[in-house]
Amino acid sequence: MALALDTPDGGSGTAATASAVRLDHVSKSFGRPGRQQLVLDDISLDVAPGEFVTLIGASGCGKSTLLNLVAGLDAASAGTITVPGGRPALMFQEHALFPWLTAGRNIELALRLRGLPKAERRPEAERLLSLVRLQGSYDKRVHELSGGMRQRVALARALAQDSRLLLMDEPFAALDAITRDVLHEELTRIWSETGVSVLFVTHNVREAVRLAQRVILLSSRPGRVVHEWQVAIDQPRRIEDAEVSALSVAITERLREEIRRHGQQ
């Protein structure tokens, strides 16, 4: 398997304009030789620059594994993953903030790893906090922040990596419905303002439709791309909108068919 992390000036301009990430016939197995379990099977997928794509599927279908492969945290067993814009940023379900650092210092850590000069880090951290609507929170400790605020800081830290591809692994799953809805609005706004490409994993079909331009369904294990939907609904959307609801019902029924076909509960 090859994982290509090309820089924009590295002679791959055509690929960079064609996709933010490309997976060509990617498979992943776990276990010892002769006793391997196939988790992802022959996945081919493109995410265009500036596109917002959500991945859905039953538990255990390999959605998070796919994100880990794109992030470079694990290697595929077969196939090729190309990320023309360089290493992507990854946001987890848990905020993963360092509790001994302030909100601003958590963001500055990513800026430091990016190579930003020390004198520029605080102004940039404050700009990113403002982008996620947390002005004045630079000196707040993690324990002083609500769950939604922590996820905003985690999003700002991911954006601090200045990647053109943002990977999000169920980042709002642990939040209450109202906070999640607010963060849907904020993520949509930030995506629109920054032009970043997003590959977003979720179990929540309505969330997938609420956010994405395209929804991709993976089969139960092994994960294969079995269907995709273009979401031709104007933003801003509400999760209770009639069009969002109608498409969510259709996708949910297709997901249920897939689960029944594999005999899962």
Identify whether the C-beta of residue 91 lies closer than 8 Å to the C-beta of residue 167: yes
* Residue-level pLDDT at 86: 86
Q: Tens digits of per-residue pLDDT, 235-254?
A: 889 989 999 999 999 999 99
Identify whether the C-beta of residue 148 lies closer than 8 Å to the C-beta of residue 131: no
Structural domains in the chain?
A: 2-88+163-261 (3.40.50.300), 97-162 (no CATH)
Residue tagged 């997938």 (tokens): 208
* Residue-level pLDDT at 33: 77
Q: Tens digits of per-residue pLDDT, 132-153?
A: 999 999 999 999 999 899 999 9
Nearest Cα residue to 79 out of 45, 35, 36:
45
Which token pair is 155?
């999003």
**Percent of the chain having pLDDT more than 70?**
92
Strand, coil or helix: what is 49?
A: coil
For residue 15, is pLDDT > 50? no
Mean pLDDT of 55-69: 91
Alpha-carbon span 1 to 60, nearest angstrom: 22
Mean pLDDT of 92-103: 89
Which token pair is 200?
């977003």
Identify whether the C-beta of residue 46 lies closer than 8 Å to the C-beta of residue 247: no
Mean pLDDT of 184-201: 94
CB atoms within 10 A of CB 201: 22
**Rg, the chain, Cα only:** 19
For residue 16, is pLDDT > 70? no
Mean pLDDT of 55-61: 89
Identify whether the C-beta of residue 226 lies closer than 8 Å to the C-beta of residue 218: yes
Of 22-26, 30-34, 234-238, the range with the lowest mean pLDDT is 30-34
Higher pLDDT, residue 40 or 86:
40
Nearby residues of 8 by Cβ (< 8 Å), 6 or more positions away: 16, 84, 85, 86
* Residue-level pLDDT at 3: 55
For residue 6, is pLDDT > 90? no
